Amino acid sequence: MPPKPWKTLSTRLVYQNPWTKVREDIAEMPNGKTTIYGVIMCSDAVGVLPFVDDDHIALVRQYRYVFEENQRWEMPTGGVNEGEDILAAARRELIEEVGYDAADLQHLCTYYTSKSIMQETAHLYLGRKLTQTAAVPDETEFLEVGIFPFKRVLEMVIQSEIRDGMTVIAVLHAARLKDQRTVI
């Protein structure tokens, strides 16, 4: 039998900017007691693992402010704009960040990026049949693009050189598909 749901008694917006909102709820738990609950709300996110050919992937790296790092590679990812179709957002992020468009976007999975305090759903894709275009990063993106053998990218994930959750999940799904001899 599933656990009983909590009941939201009140909610108030604490903070917002163009990318994030933070709300504070008072929730009643199944035992009748109340608790404060903070929730970070973001738009849906998309990520594309772009195969430039059967064995090579385009990745990006940029300075990540929260972790004060600039050496880690990741796949193109970003947020879905309000009213934007998820596939259109995936294609837009791919073009913006690595300068490729994909004729084929294969859905890998949809998941919650954090199940307890963050309300964000990520949609991951494999990009294939790429055509090169001009990359047009948004005003907060300063990117380096690299092409890597898939085996090297998988090794980077296994050794925790790549730590971005969206990239880790997409690479592991792609490896699973390759192991099943499914055409990627």
Domain of residue 83, CATH code = 3.90.79.10
Q: Is residue 115 part of a domain?
A: yes
**Same domain for 64 and 28:** no
**Same domain for 102 and 19:** no
Say what the pTM is: 0.90
How many domains, the chain? Answer: 2
Res 66: pLDDT: 79
Cα–Cα–Cα angle for 176, 106, 101, rounded to 5 degrees: 120
Per-residue pLDDT tens over the stretch 10-39: 999 999 999 899 999 999 999 999 999 999
Q: Is residue 2 part of a domain?
A: no
Q: Is residue 184 part of a domain?
A: no
Owning domain of residue 22: 7-41
- Average pLDDT estimate for 116-127: 95
Per-residue pLDDT tens over the stretch 46-57: 999 999 999 999
Res 137: pLDDT: 67
Res 142: pLDDT: 72
Residue 70 dihedral angles phi and psi, to the nearest 5°:
-135, 10
**Same domain for 18 and 61:** no
**Same domain for 106 and 21:** no
